[in-house]
Amino acid sequence: MMFWKDFFEQEKQRDYYKKLHAFVEQEYKTKTIFPPYSLILNAFRLTPFEKTKVIIIGQDPYYRKGQAMGLCFSVPPGVDVPPSLVNIFKEIAMEYKENIVQDGDLTYLAEQGVLLLNASLTVEEGKPMSHSSIGYDQLLSHVLYELNKDSRPKVFLLWGGFAKKLKDQITNPCHLILESAHPSPLSAYQGFFGNNHFQKTNAFLKSHGREEIEWIKKHYFEKKKKEDSSAF
């Protein structure tokens, strides 16, 4: 069984990763880089390989101070919810016919097995896509290879043109691929709204004997509280 710790130990031996690591280390020493250094691998830390059930792929971290936290689309509590995440919450609300009032911290999804992965794990302040050509493409390809190879059924949510280009790397028939427009305000009305991806994901997981995702934060914590209180 693959674990992220084992995976990164393997990657550290590869030339591309050595160059990538050296570049990123220097960037953090000389510039303002996001997310905070300790959160670069946050997605992998919060979502162990063996528990990964859903994969959502963004392009790169938020490039303004206080936003990036190592999970795609997610921002820390107290930070204004970004437009794309607002639209993600709108779609969830429409699918489950329930009003959603919650902050933008998606840690609760990561803890349930949703790998919130940015294609580039770092970015320079004020410069979107500034780290998109330093080797992260190879890292992402290797991550997807391991996830695809694993036989436990997973759902890959590919939103927008960039994510859809990764479809060819997901070949294992055990997995489900769901595609749509990006949740950005520029494209959400061109196919993201109404895609029903959250219910489709849960239907697939349930049909394959895997626990469904509580997409609404308050329900997740209510369920967790109930489980904790019944444990003895």
pLDDT in 10s for each residue of the chain, 232 residues: 569 999 999 999 999 999 999 999 999 999 999 999 999 999 999 999 999 999 999 999 999 999 999 999 999 999 999 999 999 999 999 999 999 989 999 999 999 999 999 999 999 999 999 999 999 999 999 999 999 999 999 999 999 999 999 999 999 999 999 999 999 999 999 999 999 999 999 999 999 999 999 999 999 999 888 887 765 5
> What is the predicted pLDDT for the residue at 228?
79
> What is the predicted pLDDT for the residue at 229?
73
Active-site residue set: 60
Cα separation values, 229 from 206, 217, 220, 223, 225, Å: 25, 18, 14, 10, 6
Q: In what order do the strands lie in the sheet with 54-58?
A: 114-118, 54-58, 155-159, 176-180
pTM for the whole thing?
0.96
Residue 111 backbone phi and psi in degrees, to 5: -70, -20
Host domain of residue 217: 4-230
User: 């590919």: which residue's tokens?
Assistant: 158
Q: What is the CATH number of the domain that holds 22?
A: 3.40.470.10
Q: What angle do CA 89, 202, 218 make, to 5 degrees?
A: 45
The structural domain count of the chain equals 1
> What is the predicted pLDDT for the residue at 231?
58
